[in-house]
């Protein structure tokens, strides 16, 4: 039964992960807008004194907050598996990028909508309840604008609306092919916008996103792709229009990027950004893989969120983010699936923790303090950081936040008989990562039931047909 068909906008869970930690016998209530209005704990639905809890629907297992996905390039989902071959003596991010550009240049609005619809459905089934879409394919082949300049952005918004996932749309400003204002390459033509043109696009999209209850921000692609003057002008225009709008940027992902930035400016990328841009809590630094201790400290002090994409960073050979150093400075962070080598919220958490273990040759690196359970600690931090980076009220199971949550199946073999915190840990570290997900709710509406979205078969077929057509046109 969906929330929209239920008389009562309530759900009772024997165990729920609140921002303060695990709580027993929890009743959630939300309003017509899908905003949580009450979170009661310690109720006993059998006592006759629990009131509304007796009539509420009962969760099938432990309740965890929906995970924000803070970094997505939707079209790349259809590119998965097409670059896992040895193409040269030493394959790298840069050789992968060349192949990816070729794929991007076949994209159409219809293809993007079909791919994104399937991807966003996959995300919901995998425990994500919202997505930050870092969207940089703007124009038709050769860089010719569409009759409606927002065609590809609108395709993404329609996909989000059809599936019910929450959306933060981040149109990407992309102008140059390298530091120092190098002209764009021919295969980057579909990405390029002037600063004024980008601000015009944002003005066009603002009422559309607001009507859809989506958020709108800006993504300067990277320091190599946006000259300093353009960065300054674009940020001023954005925040004159939307003062709280999020700003996401790729930064220090690759060592070559660091070397090129040093050659251009005498500073490393994160150091340059902190010195020349108004970096604050509205910002999300995507990857930020290669930083000095001073950059870790400075970036953490800025209150920006580090956007970590563990499975993509592993797939591309980027390197390992130094999470213990980041946390020592009070840094905030969240997870994204980026190129979608994996679409699985728990998988990203597992990969993040395991990368730290391999790097440090220790166990349980990201647990400790008030939350010794690694899965609990990571989930709460990733939800809080992801919500901040999204610019939306999705920071967990608390009054005033959206009713976005995931119900785990207490009968699943990995969880059965375990206390809630251990069952949650088993979901992250000892299941198939999505197999223990029973139900997913977004803004108080049930979008996944018994592990499946209502559009699963139709969207899957559309994705497969679209990918086939794109590959035939190669």
338 has catalytic annotation: yes
Under 8 Å CB-to-CB from 454, ≥6 apart: which residues? none
- Work out the number of other CB atoms within 10 angstroms of the CB of residue 228: 13
DSSP code string of 24-90: EEEEEEE-TTSBEEEEE-S--TTSS--GGGGTSEE-SS-EEEPEEEEEE-GGGGGGTTSS-S--SSS
Domains defined along the chain, listed by start: 10-65+397-456 (2.30.40.10), 67-390 (3.20.20.140)
pLDDT (0 to 100) of residue 432: 86
Q: Which two tokens stand for residue 266?
A: 């005498």
User: For residue 6, what pLDDT is reported?
Assistant: 44
Catalytic annotation on 456?
A: no
269 within 8 A of 252, measured Cβ to Cβ: yes
Residue 44, pLDDT score: 80
Give the count of alpha carbons within 13 A of 25, CB side only: 12
Nearest CA to 1 out of 439, 469, 464 is that of 439
Low-confidence ranges of the chain (pLDDT < 50): 1-6, 49
Question: Which residue among the candidates 322, 338, 404, 421 is catalytic per the annotation?
Answer: 338
Sign of the torsion angle spanned by Cα atoms 342, 345, 346, 349? positive
CA–CA distance, 93 with 170 (Å, rounded to integer) = 23
The residues, any chain, with a CB within 8 Å of residue 146's CB and separated by 6 or more, are 109, 139, 140, 152
pLDDT in tens, 103-157: 888 899 999 999 999 999 999 999 999 999 999 999 999 999 999 999 999 999 9
Q: What is the DSSP string of 378-434?
A: HHHHHHHHHHHHHTSS-SSSSTTSB--EEEE-TTSTTTTTS-HHHHHHHHHHTS-SS
Contact 439, 91 (CB under 8 A): no
Spatial separation of the C-alpha atoms in residues 113 and 155, rounded to whole Å: 5
18 pairs with which residues across the strands? 21
- Supply the DSSP symbol for 66: P
| Cα R_g (the chain), whole angstroms | 22
Q: In 3D, which of 163, 105, 197 has the Cα closest to residue 454?
A: 163
What per-residue confidence (pLDDT) applies to 78?
87
Residue in 287, 290, 424, 453 annotated catalytic: 287
């Amino acid at each position: 039964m969906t929330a929209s068909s239920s008389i009562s906008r309530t759900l009772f869970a024997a165990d729920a992960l609140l921002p303060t930690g695990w709580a027993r016998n929890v009743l959630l209530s939300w309003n017509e807008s899908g905003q949580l209005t009450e979170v009661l704990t310690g109720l006993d639905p059998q006592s006759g004194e629990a009131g509304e809890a007796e009539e509420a629907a009962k969760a099938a297992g432990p309740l965890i907050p929906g995970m924000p996905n803070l970094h997505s390039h939707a079209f790349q989902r259809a590119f998965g598996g097409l670059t896992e071959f040895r193409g040269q003596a030493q394959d790298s991010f840069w050789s992968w990028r060349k192949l990816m550009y070729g794929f991007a240049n076949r994209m159409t609005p219809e293809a993007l909508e079909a791919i994104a619809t399937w991807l966003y459905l996959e995300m919901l089934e995998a425990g994500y309840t919202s997505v930050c879409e870092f969207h940089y394919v703007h124009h038709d082949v050769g860089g010719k604008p569409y009759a409606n300049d927002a065609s590809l952005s609108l395709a993404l918004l329609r996909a989000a609306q059809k599936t019910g996932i929450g959306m933060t749309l981040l149109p990407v400003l992309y102008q140059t092919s390298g530091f120092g204002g190098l002209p764009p390459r021919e295969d980057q033509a579909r990405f390029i916008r002037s600063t004024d043109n980008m601000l015009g696009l944002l003005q066009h999209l603002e009422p559309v996103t607001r009507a859809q209850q989506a958020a709108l921000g800006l993504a300067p692609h990277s320091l190599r792709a946006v000259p300093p003057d353009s960065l300054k002008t674009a940020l001023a225009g954005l925040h004159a229009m939307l003062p709280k709008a999020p700003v996401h940027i790729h930064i220090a992902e690759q060592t070559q990027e660091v070397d090129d930035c040093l050659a251009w400016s005498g500073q490393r990328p994160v150091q340059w950004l902190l010195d020349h841009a108004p970096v604050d809590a509205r910002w999300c630094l995507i990857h930020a893989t290669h930083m000095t201790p001073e950059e870790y400290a400075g970036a953490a002090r800025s209150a920006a969120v580090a956007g970590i994409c563990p499975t993509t960073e592993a797939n591309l050979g980027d390197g390992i983010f130094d999470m213990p150093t980041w946390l020592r400075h009070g840094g905030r962070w969240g997870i994204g699936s980026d190129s979608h080598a994996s679409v699985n919220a728990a998988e990203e958490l597992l990969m993040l923790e395991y990368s730290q273990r391999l790097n440090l040759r220790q166990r349980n690196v990201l647990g400790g303090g008030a939350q010794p359970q690694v899965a609990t600690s990571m989930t709460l931090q990733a939800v809080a950081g992801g919500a901040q980076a999204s610019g939306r009220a999705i920071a967990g199971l608390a009054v005033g936040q959206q009713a976005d949550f995931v119900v785990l199946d207490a009968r699943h073999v990995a969880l059965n008989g375990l206390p809630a915190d251990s069952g949650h840990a088993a979901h992250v570290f000892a299941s198939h990562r999505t197999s223990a997900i029973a139900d997913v709710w977004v803004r108080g509406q049930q979008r996944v039931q018994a592990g499946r979205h209502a559009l699963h078969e139709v969207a899957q077929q559309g994705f497969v047909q679209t990918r086939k057509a794109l590959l035939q046109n190669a």
